[in-house]
Structure 1
Amino acid sequence: MQVEGLSINLATIREQCGFAEAVDICLKHGITAIAPWRDQVAKVGLDEAVRIVKSNGIKLTGLCRGGFFPAANDADWQKNLDDNRRAIDEAAAFSADCLVLVVGGLPGSSKDIVAARRMVFDGIAAVLPHAQAAGVKLAIEPLHPMYAADRACVNTLGQALDLCEQLGEDVGVAVDVYHVWWDPDLANQIARAGRMKRIFAHHICDWLVPTKDMLLDRGMMGDGVIDLKGIRRMVEAAGFFGAQEVEIFSAENWWKRPAEEVIATCVERFRSCC
């Protein structure tokens, strides 16, 4: 039986299986929407990954990831732009709903976060024409402030939407509950995103208490403190009814379990907790 409204970000079972096997497991459990990572695609090859997706009638709720724009020198800057253009081409090959942008943090030894955020704007502006020509939407994913230095200097939905307003209609946001659940202005900003029609993706997992690793200890839905149903109501009230995409990094728990068990649990928790 097909599970409507659920997508699996393939990072959730990245340690257990490769691209083709992950797709097979999702299909076995009635899931026909996924979001792969570029390294997972590269291991099987873009052409083969696209063939697998299209032959099975699979939808990509996103491709992870582009971004990481800030650079310490001109050569690295150009390298980052070129990589983002390749990521756009890959997303286009899949007809993905969006390319998720994790925008990057402080380059090199810099302590200038204002300059880093300026480079994020300039970087997205530089690759946006390529994305528009390819028919690919760019989804800025604001990350929790604990990642501001090394992964993303855009840390609130409000910041991300400010960028969207400046950049144009083909730039939106990925609302990842892990990163935004704590924001006291979340309801207002989700409503704002809805008015702008800029919600391109909705990612789910849970925040564990305590969290033992700031990157690799995300929780399965229902095991933590995030009001998943409440945030879903906000997102749907804002006009987004796309699939909820499970994205779990869990080095000491879910990555150690059989992939079949993980996906079966995702389905059960999606139905009961989301």
Structure 2
Amino acid sequence: MADLSRLSFNQMTAGKASLGDVVKACVKHNVGWIGPWRHAVGVNPQAAAQLIRSAGLKVSSLCRGGMFPAATAEERRRRIEDNLRAIDEAAAIGTDLLVLVNGPAPGRDIDGARQMVVDGIAAVAGHAAQSGVRLGVEPLHPMFAADRSVVVTMGEANEIAARFPAGQVGLVVDVYHIWWDPQVYAEIAKAGDRIFAFHVSDWIVPTPDFLMGRGMMGDGVIELQRLRGAAERAGYKGPIEVEIFNEALWARPADEIVGLVAERFQEFV
């Protein structure tokens, strides 16, 4: 069997399956890492941590923080408070990485919203460092600029991360979002040890849905192994997280999904 030691299963790849079901499936298929989401961790991250640890799994990241831009100072303050809670949840569940999905502009001022992202990270970075949690800025595909993130390229994410200490703020490199970028390999090399996570899926042609149309590795056009090689040459040696949003995939049992992910990971990643 090919090496699965770096494979991490992002919980959303199993859609609405419970954290417990995903943990059981990971154990069955020799997947040693898991990437939970905050809604599944709930109000008791210690219990979720115990569930994961007792199964012998490690936590690659917690998703998600971010969403800093907002129309009013009060709403921005509340979002910063939510990110402080997310940092505490990440530490409690046993990971040193909180993924930041950075949010859309509240109006038409996209440059102003990007500054709100920087200001938001600055407001929580100290607490994250004290908690032993790194912050990973995830650039999203430009099609999400209006509703999910004003940070849409590796270049922008590198510029934001460079404002902070290298060990505290870095990048989440998700191939679904960055594969198209003509500068992607130069920006991966530039990121270097600021690459905190590497996420894989595939881009299906035609794309059935922008949000829910990610493909299983091998079903699309992304040069997965080339991108992985670039990240590793830049110094990334951590877990490789499979994150797929796809309603057809979510209709399957968690056990079947994890098994398929393990097979495709070995063949295509």
TM-score normalized by structure 1? 0.95
In structure 2, distance between residues paired with 1:86 and 1:174: 20
In structure 2, distance between residues paired with 1:53 and 1:257: 22
- Residue number in structure 2 paired with 1:36: 36
- Residue number in structure 2 paired with 1:237: 233
- Residue number in structure 2 paired with 1:150: 147
Alpha-carbon distance, 1:167 to partner: 2.0
Q: How high is the sequence identity, in percent, across the aligned residues? A: 49
In structure 2, distance between residues paired with 1:24 and 1:250: 21
Q: How does 1:93-104 map to 2 (within 5 A)?
A: 93-104=92-103
Q: State whether residues 97 and 200 of structure 1, in contact with CA within 8 Å, keep that contact through their aligned partners in structure 2.
A: no
In structure 2, distance between residues paired with 1:52 and 1:167: 34
In structure 1, distance between residues paired with 2:25 and 2:261: 12
- Residue number in structure 1 paired with 2:185: 187
Q: State whether residues 45 and 93 of structure 2, in contact with CA within 8 Å, keep that contact through their aligned partners in structure 1.
A: no
Number of residue pairs matched? 267
Q: State whether residues 49 and 94 of structure 2, in contact with CA within 8 Å, keep that contact through their aligned partners in structure 1.
A: no
- Residue number in structure 1 paired with 2:251: 256
- Residue number in structure 1 paired with 2:26: 26
In structure 2, distance between residues paired with 1:243 and 1:148: 27
Q: State whether residues 158 and 170 of structure 2, in contact with CA within 8 Å, keep that contact through their aligned partners in structure 1.
A: yes
- 3-state SS of the aligned residue for 2:230? helix
- Residue number in structure 1 paired with 2:14: 13
In structure 1, distance between residues paired with 2:8 and 2:96: 12
In structure 2, distance between residues paired with 1:28 and 1:54: 15
Q: How does 1:83-232 map to 2 (within 5 A)?
A: 83-107=82-106, 110-169=107-166, 170-194=168-192, 197-232=193-228
Give every structure 1 segment of 4 or more consecutive aligned residues whose post-TM-superposition deviation is greater than 3 Å: none
Alpha-carbon distance, 1:82 to partner: 0.3
In structure 1, distance between residues paired with 2:188 and 2:73: 36
Deviates more, 1:34-43 or 1:213-222: 34-43
Alignment gaps of 5+ in structure 2: none
TM-score normalized by structure 2? 0.97
Alignment gaps of 5+ in structure 1: none
- 3-state SS of the aligned residue for 1:269? helix
